Amino acid sequence: MRAVVEREIRVVAVGTNIEHSRRVVQRRPGWLLRCLRGGAAPPHHHGDLYWPIDLTVAAAMVTLPLRTPRRVTVPIAHDAVTGHHGILDLSIPELKTTYASEEEIVRAGAGEPAAELQEFAREQFVRRHRPTKIRDLGFEVVERVHLPYHVLTAGTSIFLVDRLTGRVDHPERHPYARTLSRRRLDAITNQNP
């Protein structure tokens, strides 16, 4: 038997309300149909999955038409698995430190996003402020955090429930399905039967 190695990670401190995740999965059409036929057992929680995200704050001096230069910031989130980035448009709850096994942590695949992230930040400053000049573009804070997902099964289906937004996905239909290997999900579901 292989020893489980746990790593210390920073996660977004969201509630661990498993009952809420079960209720969300029970609202799925497939579960409702199985329930009407009498063959639906309540969804079973098998553990958590942690998705790595890099949080950063881009800062720059922008000069607007007929105004003095001022310093502005834009919060940016970078997906460490796929390399996508976007504006952080919701307030992140506080962060906490926890321990997770290697099977529960999705492996980061994208490298350092220096050039793409720099260009993305520049585009956001232009879009938001329409400056005539951008100087001293840089990144103030870079921190790797992990977004927690609940892994639930209902019948033969596996569901991922995003604990921050409450979104439910089948791993096959998850936007990043190529990174979620069936072996990893099977390891999580078999680890906690």
**In a domain? residue 160:** yes
Number of domains in the chain: 1
Its domain, for residue 64, covers 6-191
Region at 129 (left for phi over 0; alpha for psi -120 to 50; beta for the rest):
alpha
Residues 13 and 94 sit within 8 Å (Cβ to Cβ): yes
Residue 1 lies in a domain: no
Question: Across the strands, what pairs with 149?
Answer: 49, 162
Model pLDDT, residue 60:
92
pLDDT tens digits, residue range 91-136? 777 888 888 888 788 878 766 667 888 899 999 989 888 888 888 8
Summarize pLDDT for 15-36 with one digit per residue, the tens: 767 787 887 777 766 666 666 7
For the entire predicted model, the pTM comes to 0.73
pLDDT attached to residue 1: 43
Pick from 21, 23, 88: which is nearest to 49 by CA? 21
Quote the pLDDT of residue 29. 66
pLDDT value at residue 27 = 73
Residue 21 lies inside a defined structural domain of this protein: yes
| Residue 59 binned pLDDT confidence (cut-offs 50, 70, 90) | very high
Could you report the per-residue pLDDT of 70-92, keeping only the tens digit for each? Answer: 999 999 988 887 788 888 877 77
Average pLDDT over residues 133-150: 86
Report yes or no on 68 lying in a domain. yes
